[in-house]
Structures are given as structure tokens and as C-alpha cells.
Amino acid sequence: MRIMKILIVEDEAKTGDYLKQGLSEAGFGADLARNGLDGMHEGLAGEYDLLILDVNLPGLDGWQVLKALRAAGRDLPVLFLTARDQVEDRVKGLELGADDYLVKPFAFSELLARVRTLLRRGRVKEAGNLSIADLELDVLKRRAIRAGQRIDLTAKEFALLELFLRRQGEVLARSFIASQVWDMNFDSDTNVVEVAIRRLRAKVDEEFTPKLIHTLRGMGYVMEIR
């Protein structure tokens, strides 16, 4: 599989560096532009699969970069980053043709999840069966089977497991899980997701090996064979 190339346009030095490092370590080819003008030129010149665009840039701001790219016919997905949690900002970005947005500060794992969603968009592999190790999920029949044994799951537990299987190997932040499975969109400081995952583990992982659901302290959860 070809390496996905991501262009990051971010003027804040530390944030930019760590975004680049984080995305590179997650297996993407990441380039960094430190101002709007460079960002626009690189975005127009290079063949990128995704653009991560900070809105507040010196000189040419994020909106202008986005406009210029869309005007030149570049339809790559754009995820914009904003420090201002203003409704107008969100609406403006989406109107200008951005595909998603994140409000700073955000969890890196959240960014990664959004990036993967955007890159996956358009490539349908929704229906059918999902599997990892000896766990199988029949999405249409809403059935989960591990080591030949049928596992009894509630609707939400099934949705949670499905999310893990679709996102194998990806770190899923708690906020991302809450919004994907329960449609809860604000950052809550309760441990609902923790409890839900503990229960799911009890059904899916406890009596089986290898363990599939792993906790990454402070970051979230990941499903993989270790």
C-alpha cells in the first residue's frame, strides 16, 4: 500500500514539529509548512492526500489558503484546526470546502482518528464481516463470535466492538469513542467509556487469548494482536 502524504500548515513551531513527528510515526508521509504562503505553494505543487490547516496563520491565513487550493481545483480532504470555538468559524470553514475541523487543544489520537476517517472516505468497505485473530463480527446479522463461541452483546457494545475492528491498530481517544458510539459530542470528564470498555473486555477478552483490547494510559484504547 502506498504511503499517504499529508501536508501540515501550522505556524506554531512546537505544535508543527510534534504534529509532523506524530503523523510520521503513525505511518504517514508528513510535510510541514510554517506559513500560509509556503502552505499554498506546497499544496498546489505537491501531490498530497490530505491537508491539515491551521486557521490562524501570519500573512496568508488558513481561509485564503483553502480558497486558493479549491480555486485551483484541488479537491483533497482538508481538516482545519482552530483555536476559537466559534460557531461562525466552524460554519465558515465547512462552507469554504473544508471536510472536518478540530478545536485546539485537541488530543493527538483524536486528530489521528479524524485523519484516518477522512482518508478512508470514499472507499467503501462498510458491510460484510470484520475479524481480528479468532474474533469475527457479522455486521449485517449483528453477531459476534470468538473462538467459535457466540458472544452476547448489547447494541452499544456491538457498535463499540465494530468501531474497534474497523479501526484496528489505531489509538482511539475516549472522546472519539463517545462521539462515534453514543453521539456524545462534548468532552465529559466521567469515566463512562472506561466502564463500557471494561464490560466489553469482560465479554470479549477475559476468557480468551490473545487479548485484543489494550489501554494506552492517557491516550485511549487500541485493538491489536500483541
- Residues forming contacts to another protein in the complex (CB under 8 A) are 85, 87, 105, 107, 156, 178, 182-192, 195-196, 199, 216-219
Local structure of 79: helix, strand or coil: strand
* Minimum separation from the CB atom of position 197 to another protein (A): 10
Amino acid at 159: A
Nearest residue (CB) to another protein, 161 versus 178: 178
Task: State which residue, 140 or 155, has the beta carbon closest to another protein.
Answer: 155
Give yes or no for a contact between 214 and 226, defined as CB atoms under 8 angstroms apart.
yes
Shortest spacing between CB 182 and another protein, in angstroms: 4
CB of 148 vs another protein, minimal distance in Å: 29
Torsional sign, CA 207, 210, 211, 212: negative
Quick one: cell of 204? Answer: 470479549
How far apart are CB 103 and another protein at their closest, in Å? 8
The number of CA neighbours under 13 Å toward the Cβ of 112 is: 27
Q: How far is the CB of 18 from another protein (least distance, A)?
A: 13
Which residue's CB is nearer to another protein, number 6 or number 107? Answer: 107
CB of 105 to another protein, least distance (A): 5
Which residue, 119 or 219, has its beta carbon nearer to another protein? 219
The Cα 210–Cα 208 span in angstroms is 6
Q: Report the alpha-carbon distance of residue 66 to residue 88 in Å, rounded.
A: 16
Measured from the CB atom, the residue of 2 and 217 that comes closer to another protein is 217
Nearest Cα to 80, choosing from 72, 156, 64?
Answer: 64
E-assigned strand segments in 147-199: 149-151
DSSP-derived secondary structure letter, 46: S
Distance set, CA 115 to CA 8, 101, 170, 190, 198 (Å): 12, 10, 11, 26, 27
| Residue 105 or 128 with smaller CB distance to another protein | 105
Q: H or E element: which one contains 195?
A: helix 192-204
